[in-house]
Amino acid sequence: AAAAAAGAFSLREVLEAFQRCVTEQREVLLEPYLSGWRGLIRFLQSLGTVFSFISKDAVAKVSLLEGHCGGRQGQQYVSLQSMVRHELAAGPAALRARSDSGCRTVLRLHRALRWLQLFLEGLRSGDSRTSVVCTDAYNASLAAYHPWVVRKAATVAFCALPSRDAFLEIMNVGPREEAVAMLGEAIPYIGDVYSITQELFAQHKLLDLP
Ligand code: 1PX
């Protein structure tokens, strides 16, 4: 309770949000998706100001999506599937021309979710230093979509990451072994959200939205 009062939180709740995302019909619900992202952002913010440029961008993207969910067309933004259907109704060209669409914004978070999956896998296995795990995960996912200057800044920031032990501790799920076990349980759910989204966006040719 004291930890909660101090604004601390457990990564378990964050990962549970991604578990809640997927319905029996294999739809991805936007509300728990954004709730998971809000938790990740809080976590990132607690790591220090070197990561501000990353959390600012993530906050902007989550806010944009919250705006859609709370807007006049809110019912269309219940799931990623309904969002795609709704935004594609005006045609693919109109969707591509919009910089504030839910689809192009989710696509950015979706690519970052792949980073998260790889990062957590590396953190769980504990084979390398956190900064190395993070850099490898980044190079295998988001880096391909970022210009040189962003890649450079990200790589510099990664050097400031805490050690694996410190990471497992600030995740706040209990003893180290428990944190590792929790990662093992949670990673498949993130993988699930990722692959359903990937398939949805591929099916509608949305994987390269500008
Ligand atoms: C126990 C592990 C928990 C760790 C939680 C960390 C959460 C990380 C959240 C990262 C969200 C990043 C979203 C990036 C979206 C993006 O690609 N944006 C770019 C393109 O957007 P645009 O609208 O212009 O098309 C934008 O240019 C991004 C700029 C900011 C730099 C992004 C670097 C991403 C690095 C991701 C790794 C985070 C490292 C955290 C270390 C724990």
Does the ipTM exceed 0.90?
A: yes
Classify residue 209: in a domain, yes or no.
Answer: no
In the predicted model, what is the mean pLDDT of residues 121-146?
97
Classify residue 210: in a domain, yes or no.
Answer: no
In the predicted model, what is the mean pLDDT of residues 169-175?
92
Q: How far is the CA of 170 from the centre of ligand 1 (A)?
A: 19
Q: How far is the CA of 112 from the centre of ligand 1 (A)?
A: 6
Q: 106 CB under 6 A from ligand 1?
A: no
Ligand 1 pocket test: pick from 18, 42, 108, 113 the residue with the most ligand atoms within 8 Å of its Cβ.
108
Classify residue 86: in a domain, yes or no.
Answer: yes
- Looking at residue 10, its pLDDT comes to 86
Q: 44 CB under 6 A from ligand 1?
A: yes
Flag the least confident range among 110-114, 154-158, 170-174, 187-191: 170-174
- Looking at residue 9, its pLDDT comes to 74
Q: 112 CB under 6 A from ligand 1?
A: yes
- Looking at residue 73, its pLDDT comes to 97
Q: 58 CB under 6 A from ligand 1?
A: yes
- Looking at residue 126, its pLDDT comes to 94
Residue 189 has pLDDT above 60, yes or no: yes
Flag the least confident range among 7-11, 24-28, 119-123: 7-11
- Looking at residue 7, its pLDDT comes to 55
- Looking at residue 5, its pLDDT comes to 42
Residue 120 has pLDDT above 90, yes or no: yes
Classify residue 208: in a domain, yes or no.
Answer: no
- Looking at residue 162, its pLDDT comes to 94
Classify residue 18: in a domain, yes or no.
Answer: yes
User: How far from chain centre, in Å, is Cα 176?
Assistant: 23
Residue 147 has pLDDT above 70, yes or no: yes
**Number of neighbouring beta carbons within 10 Å of residue 133:** 24
Three-state secondary structure call for residue 103: helix
Nearest Cα residue to atom 42 of ligand 1: 44
- How many structural domains compose the chain? 1
pLDDT tens, residue by residue, 3-15 = 444 456 789 999 9
Q: What is the DSSP secondary-structure string of 31-83?
A: HHHHHHHHHHHHHHHHT-GGGHHHHHHHHHHHHHHHHHHHSTTGGGGSBHHHH
Residue 55 has pLDDT above 50, yes or no: yes
Q: 53 CB under 6 A from ligand 1?
A: yes
- Looking at residue 101, its pLDDT comes to 98
Taken in order 180, 183, 188, 191, the sign of the CA dihedral is negative
Flag the least confident range among 30-34, 56-60, 138-142, 171-175: 171-175
**Residue in 108, 110, 134 with CA at minimum distance from that of residue 121:** 134
Q: What is the CATH number of the domain that holds 33?
A: 1.10.3520.10
The percentage of residues in the chain with a pLDDT greater than 90, rounded to a whole number, is 94
Containing domain of residue 88, as a range?
2-203
Classify residue 29: in a domain, yes or no.
Answer: yes
